[in-house]
């Protein structure tokens, strides 16, 4: 299992705000980089295409209020994966967040996909900070 961790970001919003934002896949589209297309979502699942890579589907597996969100791969995906969102309270007005992407990659796919997946997870974390702090939700 290959693990890709984002940098930890400090977000000038409450942990509850960030948790609520991440608890709805309709919000995830705002986090996606330009390489993502064919986005489809409802509140509990989503699917999308990453340019030159694959179509991925995800569904919420577990949510621990204001602390942790566990998301699993769903549907026809080229590899099994999960995405975990860790949230921690800093003070009454801010929190920290870190994303972790775990993928069951073959050695060949790991060699090809590691850098794009690492970039992808860091983009998600940075966009999470930007979108939540902007209030444009």
CATH number attached to the domain at 2-134: 3.30.530.20
Instruction: Give the Cα separation of 48 and 4 in Å (integer).
Output: 19
Specify the higher pLDDT residue, 28 or 67. 67
Per-residue confidence at 87, pLDDT binned at 50, 70, 90? Answer: very high
What's the pLDDT at 51? 79
**Does the predicted model carry a pTM greater than 0.85?**
yes
Question: What is the 3-state secondary structure of 18-33?
Answer: HHHHHCCHHHHHHHCC
Average pLDDT of the segment spanning 2-26: 97
Per-residue confidence at 39, pLDDT binned at 50, 70, 90? Answer: very high
Chain-centre distance of CA 113, in angstroms? 16
What's the pLDDT at 33? 85
Instruction: Give the gyration radius of the chain's Cα atoms.
Output: 14
Instruction: Give the Cα separation of 86 and 84 in Å (integer).
Output: 6
What's the pLDDT at 43? 80
Integer angstrom CA distances of residue 9 from 2, 89, 133: 22, 12, 12
Integer angstrom CA distances of residue 94 from 29, 87, 91, 98, 130: 23, 10, 5, 14, 13
What's the pLDDT at 26? 92
Where do the structural domains in the chain lie, given as residue ranges?
2-134
């Amino acid at each position: 299992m290959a693990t890709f961790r984002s940098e930890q970001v400090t977000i000038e919003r409450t942990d509850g705000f960030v948790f609520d934002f991440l608890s709805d896949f309709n919000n995830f589209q705002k986090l996606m980089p330009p390489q993502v297309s064919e986005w489809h979502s409802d509140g509990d699942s989503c699917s999308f295409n990453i340019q030159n890579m694959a179509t991925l589907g995800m569904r919420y597996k577990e949510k621990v209020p204001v602390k942790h969100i566990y998301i699993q791969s769903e549907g026809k995906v080229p590899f099994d994966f999960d995405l975990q969102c860790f949230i921690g309270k800093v003070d009454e007005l801010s929190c920290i967040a870190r994303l972790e992407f775990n993928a069951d990659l073959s050695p060949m796919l790991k060699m090809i996909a590691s850098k794009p997946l690492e970039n992808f997870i860091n983009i998600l974390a940075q966009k999470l900070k930007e979108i939540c702090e902007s209030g444009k939700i």
